[in-house]
Amino acid sequence: MSISDKKPLEFGGHSLVWAGDWSPKSARFAASSAHKAGYDLIEILIAEPEKIDAAMTKDLLAEFNLKAAGCFVLTASTDISSADKSIVKAGEELARQAIDKLAAIGGVEFDGPFASSLQPYEQPATKENRANSVGAMKRMADYAADKGINLNIEIVNRYESNLMNTAKEGLLYLEEVDKPNVYLHLDTYHMNIEEDGMVEGVLAAADRIGYVHIGESHRGYLGTGNVDFDSFFGALKTINYSGPITFESFSSVVVDPALSNALRIWRNLWDDSHDLAEKAIKFMKARY
């Protein structure tokens, strides 16, 4: 698919719904489970690209008729919004490695909150922080475009980024980056915290939305928390959204301990990933 083409509507599931890592055993369990539940796509965390076996992954995707998206996050030591140019450089290099890995497995959608690191900041972003992030993103976008890959920048809440927290703020960032293969990645969990409802941000972003995460307010079963999913999916219909719609949920039973701490997932919100995933795809398809 060319990055200029309209994206296909695909229902995805984050691999962390089924497994906390991407070892051969875990990857097979996650891929087979996603296929059994009826998902089109599986989102794979590639924050540590060296841990992803591309050949094994590509074979699994073919075996279970799945497409793949690559989820990417940065830490304080690889933050492209840092005032330390060596840290920015390290973040760009890691991103290129992750993009290479996604290309090797045949994926085209690179998503996550990688405009800055995933951490609680103690102060607002400075002009230098923003400029460094935008500059790095421009270079990353060009690198990804050469491989036919889209960058989808996730808008997360104020406790996980100080750079941008709403869809409208994200649009201003996209204007500065000004690359055709860079989109916004909206997530209902974060929108429920930061947006003025679940409609306005979607309508404002419209065709600049390239990826969607569906997550409940407490990260558990859809429809059991506070997110107004009916309004959100109605807004997606209004803009005729086409692209990945991926279910994301975390429980300390499954998530890798390091990521669990980063996301503050300290509760066992569920322990039956099969039941969770099957109900989630029915929930999403009933609304879109």
- Please, which residues have CB within 8 angstroms of residue 176's CB and are 6 or more apart in sequence? 130, 134
* Positive/negative CA dihedral, 41, 91, 99, 244: positive
Confidence bin at 271 (pLDDT 50/70/90): confident
User: How would you class 167 by CB atoms within 10 Å of its CB: exposed for 0-12, middle for 13-18, buried for 19 or more?
Assistant: buried
Q: What percent of the chain has pLDDT over 70?
A: 92
Distance from CA of residue 54 to its chain's centroid? Answer: 19
Q: Which residues are catalytic?
A: 154, 248
User: What is residue 2's predicted lDDT score, i.e. its pLDDT?
Assistant: 39
Nearest to 41 by CA among 29, 30, 55: 30
Region 91-106: what's the mean pLDDT? 98
pTM: 0.94
CA distance 96 to 135: 15
CA distance 102 to 44: 9
Region 201-220: what's the mean pLDDT? 96
User: What is residue 267's predicted lDDT score, i.e. its pLDDT?
Assistant: 67
CATH of domain 10-287: 3.20.20.150
- Angle among Cα 98, 158, 250 to the nearest 5 degrees reads 60
Region 101-113: what's the mean pLDDT? 98
User: What is residue 47's predicted lDDT score, i.e. its pLDDT?
Assistant: 94
Residue 262 has pLDDT above 90, yes or no: no
Where do the structural domains in the chain lie, given as residue ranges? 10-287
Region 38-50: what's the mean pLDDT? 97
